[in-house]
Structure formats: C-alpha cells, structure tokens
A = this chain, B = another copy of it.
Amino acid sequence: MEQQIPYKIYLKETEMPTAWYNVRADMKNKPAPLLNPGTGKPMTAAELEGVFCEELVAQELNDTDRFIPIPEEIRSFYKMYRPSPLIRAYCLEEKLGTPAKIYYKFEGNNTSGSHKLNSAIAQAYYAKKQGLKGVTTETGAGQWGTALSMACSYFDLDCRVYMVKVSYEQKPFRREVMRTYGARVTPSPSDTTEIGRKILAEFPGTTGSLGCAISEAVEDAVTHEGYRYVLGSVLNQVLLHQSVIGLETKAALDQYGITPDIIIGCAGGGSNLGGLIAPFMGEKLRGEKEYRIIAVEPASCPSFTRGKFAYDFCDTGKVCPLAKMYTLGSGFIPAPNHAGGLRYHGMSSTLSQLYEDGYLEATTAVQTDVFQAAEQFARVEGILPAPESAHAIKVAIDEAMKCKETGEAKTIVFGLTGTGYFDMVAYERFHNGEMSDYIPTNEELEKSLAKLPQIN
C-alpha cells in the first residue's frame, strides 16, 4: 500500500472548479444539432425556449466556449455536498490480488444518492433566474427526480416528476423522499396527459419507459404557463454541468501526479460518463494525452453496442426534437426484469459522436454479473452501490483481473455514480436467485430500429 496516497482524496473547497468544461469546444466533429420534428431543420434558440429555460438553451447550443463559469449560487450549493471524494480502492485491490491501482469517484454522498444533483441544481437555478413557477421532468430509477426535488426545494420552485411506472412500483420510498422535498410524483404512463392516455391505450399494462415519461413531462410543461421542462441526462447542457465530476477527479489525480490508463463509466443517457471523462477527453481530442475510455451499458438496453447512429426521437411520444445519437429506436422498452436505471433507448449526442469518431469504447454487462460485482464491492469497500454504478464496477474488476494475468500495474478510474439504498427490491431478487439476464433478440431490435424517422 502506497502510504502517500490517502484512501480518499478530497479537494479543498477553494480548489473546486469555478467553471464547467464544455467538451464540444474541443471536438472537430461537433455533435449534430437537434432537429425540429415538423420541419426537419435545426431547432433555433427561440424554438427551444418554448421547452427549456433560456440560459440552458444557450448552453445547449454553445459548442465553442471551452469553459462556462459556474454561477456563485450554484457553487454555494455544490459546497453542501461537494467536493466528492476520489477513493483509492485499496481493499478491493487487495481482495482481487491485482497489481492494478483502482480509483473511483464517489458521487453518492448526498440525499439524491447520485451525481444527478450536479445538473439539477444548475437547471433549477436558471429556471428561478428566469422567474418561472416550476419545472417538469421524468425520472427512471428515481435519482434524477430526487435530485431535482432537492434543487427545486432549495430555490422554492414547484416540481412535477413523471416516474417510470416500474420504478415507481419497485421504489415506493423514492416517492416519499421526493415528497419530503415537496415534489409531486406521477407514475408514467399516466392518464393526466394526452400522450400518456394514448400510450396506455396502445400498450395497456406497459411498465413504462423513460421515453414515455419524457413525453408526459414535456406536454405538462408546454401546456402550463410559467413551466419549463428539464432533463437529467442526454442533453449537452447536462454533460456540461456534470463535467464538475471529471474536473474534480482530474484535479485530485493531478495533485498526486497520477495519470489514469483506463477510465470507465456506466452509460444510460450518458450524463455521468460524459461528465467523468470530460477533461480527459479534452486532452485526448487535443492530442495531448491518450486514455482508454470505456462506456458500460446494460446488455438489456445496448444503445452503443447494438444501436444505430441516426436521428431519432428522444421520447416515445415524439413530441421532443430529434437528436442524432446511437439509438435502439424511440419505441424500444427494456425488459421489465431489468433493474435500476440505464433504461434509455438513446444516448447523448456528444458521446455518440465521440464513439462514432473512435474516442471511446463501449461494452455491455448482464445484470446478474452486475449485481455480483456490486455485492463483492460492497463487502470490501463498504459502499452499497446503485445497480447503475455497478456496471462500471463490473468492468473495472474485469480490467483489474486482466492486469493480474499480465502483471501490469495499470491505473483504473471509474465512476461510482450512486448508492443502492433504494434498490433493495432488486438486491432481494438477486439474493433470492430470481434475477434473470434478458437480452433483446436481433428481431426485436430490428423491429424497433425499422421505425426510425427517415431523415438521415
């Protein structure tokens, strides 16, 4: 054990980032613009401002400024739960008997239980600044909804959350946490929106999907004065806010002169991965450094590894703009046996472009392997991980075991996005041997992908 590197590296508050890093500024091939589903033309700022807050639209469209200052109010809120620790996994390394050096950036030390709060507080701040009454959103596993509830409560904004029905049912206590922060939570699809009623009519008994819930939340926002829609992943603005994860990680590593060989993150819509890798990707894009960057997605929802890079709807109801991304088709709904988040049919446009251009790899993991890794990790590192985060753990362990075979002392950094306290139903199913590893068939994916809009 190298005594000079502590178990947990905390930056000082004075060392925390004062600006977010905008990776798009360093991309030669910029992510493709959002398209108006009616005209097929790029969405203008004015059009986007019907759905999103003004300043967030500006951030969404800004692909030239490398750094965007973090407003003082957001930095103050960040100080309530940040900097998050960069943890050296000494106990895991010892258990695995690997020469690899494993670090993880732990984003679970806040009540939302994940990194989602980093963007929630930014989006709530801009909504408040614009004088809005409230915001609407969707949530899958519930982490984003909780984060947004906390952020809205802080700025005294109304918060309406559409929660994917399967999560709503599997995570009853999530609803109470959101309620503690004053949010209204509706299981989706619901009969409170036109699109919800349409989806229910077409797919009775559906357990829902992020794509459905997004449609409902957008409809709610655009049909109510003083409301806008906010989104916890996928968008450029979210990756921008989440860059605080990577900036802190890099600053902490730099203090000890550590350069990672491999950086690993789980990928659903891409918010954590995009944030974690941002400054490292910047160096890679500018040709300054070389890193292996690995996205891990669930085998049951494999956008990168089995999807198409094409324009698609961001939501099931097709009310949102079109985004060019790796997608399984906006009608794709992951098998209900899949636990936790990472259930989104698409992927961040920014990450999709980077993947297309060869700057990052992607791999999948089946869920029983993921829970096995989660339990192994919990027993030696003490932290009970969220199922989402455990995808990254699984691959980090795999890479560390490869090092054991080859004798290489690689430095592996992964994102531990959150805790699993509200995922005990899934853990229980795992303990009881009731969890299965459904992987969509080629036929299923072809059927879903056949319905992509004909724009490309």
Measured CB to CB, the residues of A under 8 A from B are 6-8, 10, 12-13, 79-81, 91, 109-111, 113, 150, 153-154, 172-173, 176-177, 179-182, 375, 378-384, 419, 421-422, 424-425, 427-428, 431
Would you call A80 and B111 a contact (CB within 8 A)?
A: no
Partner pick for A176 among B154, B182, B419, B427, CB 8 A cutoff = B427
Tell me the bound Cα distance from A109 to B10 in angstroms. 14
Would you call B7 and A79 a contact (CB within 8 A)?
A: yes
Extra 17 A-B pairs, beta carbons < 8 Å, given A173-B428, A421-B422:
A6-B12, A6-B79, A80-B91, A109-B109, A110-B383, A111-B382, A111-B419, A154-B380, A173-B424, A173-B425, A176-B424, A177-B384, A177-B421, A179-B427, A180-B378, A180-B431, A181-B378
Closest to A9 in B: B13
| Chain B residues within 8 Å of A110, by CB | 382-383
Tell me the bound Cα distance from A81 to B109 in angstroms. 11
Tell me the bound Cα distance from A8 to B422 in angstroms. 26
Of the A-B pairs whose beta carbons lie under 8 Å apart in the complex, a sample of 30, sorted by A's number, is A6-B13, A7-B79, A7-B80, A8-B13, A8-B79, A80-B91, A80-B381, A110-B382, A111-B378, A111-B383, A111-B384, A111-B419, A113-B421, A153-B379, A154-B380, A154-B382, A172-B424, A173-B173, A173-B428, A176-B424, A177-B384, A177-B424, A179-B427, A180-B378, A180-B384, A180-B431, A181-B378, A181-B379, A182-B379, A421-B421
- A186 smallest CB distance to B (angstroms): 16
| Chain B residues within 8 Å of A173, by CB | 173, 421, 424-425, 428
Closest to A79 in B: B7
- A297 smallest CB distance to B (angstroms): 24
- A121 smallest CB distance to B (angstroms): 10
Tell me the bound Cα distance from A79 to B1 in angstroms. 13
| Chain B residues within 8 Å of A8, by CB | 13, 79
Tell me the bound Cα distance from A381 to B153 in angstroms. 11
| Chain B residues within 8 Å of A13, by CB | 6-8
Tell me the bound Cα distance from A8 to B78 in angstroms. 11
| Chain B residues within 8 Å of A7, by CB | 13, 79-80
